[in-house]
């Protein structure tokens, strides 16, 4: 099963705070479960693109307006949801903003 792990940090977090993920990277990497990883730029650099009645608008970010934002995203392929939860628990910084674990779907639907 593939899962995306989104690490949320508060707006007050300093750049790089909570990004020492050596234990998680070692566990997921050695098991061959880590598919990809991304660290995101500051949310103030984002934009929201909408199309209404054929008109495209781009609003400078962040969106939605919240104190927490996704700072890092991992994609893992695990045997079970329980294993994905165990890996997510290894990510520092999750104690503050949390790590969201979401199953990924392919065009045929939820991969179970």
pLDDT tens-digit map of 3-16: 999 888 776 655 55
**Torsion from C-alpha of 74, 77, 78, 84, nearest 10 degrees:** 20
The residue-averaged pLDDT of 12-37 equals 80
> Cα separation of 15 and 52, whole Å?
35
Sheet holding 34-39, edge to edge: 34-39, 68-77, 2-10, 99-103
The residue-averaged pLDDT of 22-38 equals 91
Residue 14 maps to a domain: yes
Tell me, what CATH number does 30's domain have?
Answer: 3.30.70.1060
Q: Give the bridge partners for 3, in sequence order.
A: 76, 103
Q: Which domain, by its residues, includes 99?
A: 2-64+80-105
pTM to 2 decimal places: 0.71
pLDDT digits (tens, 9 = 90+) for 33-54: 999 988 877 777 777 777 889 8
Domain count, the chain: 1
Structure tokens at 74: 């991992």
């Amino acid at each position: 099963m593939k899962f995306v792990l989104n690490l949320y940090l508060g707006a007050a977090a300093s750049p790089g705070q909570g990004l020492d993920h050596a234990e998680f990277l070692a566990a997921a990497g050695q098991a061959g479960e880590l598919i990809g990883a991304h660290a995101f730029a500051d949310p103030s650099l984002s934009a929201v693109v909408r199309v209404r009645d054929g008109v495209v608008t781009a609003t400078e970010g962040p969106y939605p307006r919240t104190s927490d934002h996704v700072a890092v995203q991992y994609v893992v392929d695990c045997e079970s949801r329980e294993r994905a939860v165990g890996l997510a628990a290894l990510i520092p910084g999750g104690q503050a903003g949390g790590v969201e674990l979401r199953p990924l779907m392919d065009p045929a639907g939820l991969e179970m």
